[in-house]
Structure formats: C-alpha cells, structure tokens
Structure 1
Amino acid sequence: MTRGREQVDPAGCIVCHGGDPTISDDKQAAHGGQFYPAPASPWVNEHTCGQCHEEHVRV
C-alpha cells in the first residue's frame, strides 16, 4: 500500500474508504460526506482500489 504509507495510513483506510485526516481528527468531518463503505464496488472503484490497482478499473 504505497499510497497508504505516503499518507501515514499503511492499512489503506484513507485511500480505500475516502476521507482526509488533515481536515479533522473527527471521522465525520474528515470524510466530509465522502465515505466508501464498499471500496471495491465498480461504481466507485476508480476513486478507491483502482488508484493503485489499475486492473480493477480497466474497461
């Protein structure tokens, strides 16, 4: 999870589920309405897993 490590998030919570910890320590505020409960969903994949795993979003 290179992108996760870059964002001090080795588990990938930020990359996979959305959010921005620089906004707030509060989970709701940090996500600002953007939370992907199922990051592998093809509807959101290009914004989640597909950032690192391009094979997931290839057409």
Structure 2
Amino acid sequence: MAITQQTVMQFEYFYPAWQRWFENRVYPFTEGISITFQTSSKTGDILLTCLRAFAVC
C-alpha cells in the first residue's frame, strides 16, 4: 500500500515476546520501501489497559 499510493504508513504493533509496543513507519522510495521501528510502550500500555478494562483482549 505504501508503494502503490506513494504515501508514508504508520501503525503500532504489540510484540508479546518482549511485552513492548512498537511504532512502525513505512516510507516508499523508488527502489522499494524503508521501515523504521521505535518503541512506544507508554502509549501502548495505556491502550492495552483500556482494552483490558473493556475485555477486548
């Protein structure tokens, strides 16, 4: 999607093995894509707490 639309994509992912949230960004360029990862545990922990409160996860 990032390549076909030539737009930056951003999403968060929880990696259970490390109990950490990661903010991921996908940048398109002429030869493909570049992906960056950054921990975002504070935001993710808040989200996980909310989800648990509503028994979503």
TM band (smaller chain): under 0.3
**Which protein is richer in helix relative to its size?**
1
Larger radius of gyration: 2
TM-score by length of 2: 0.27
Q: Which has the higher contact order (CA 8 A, sep 6+)?
A: 2
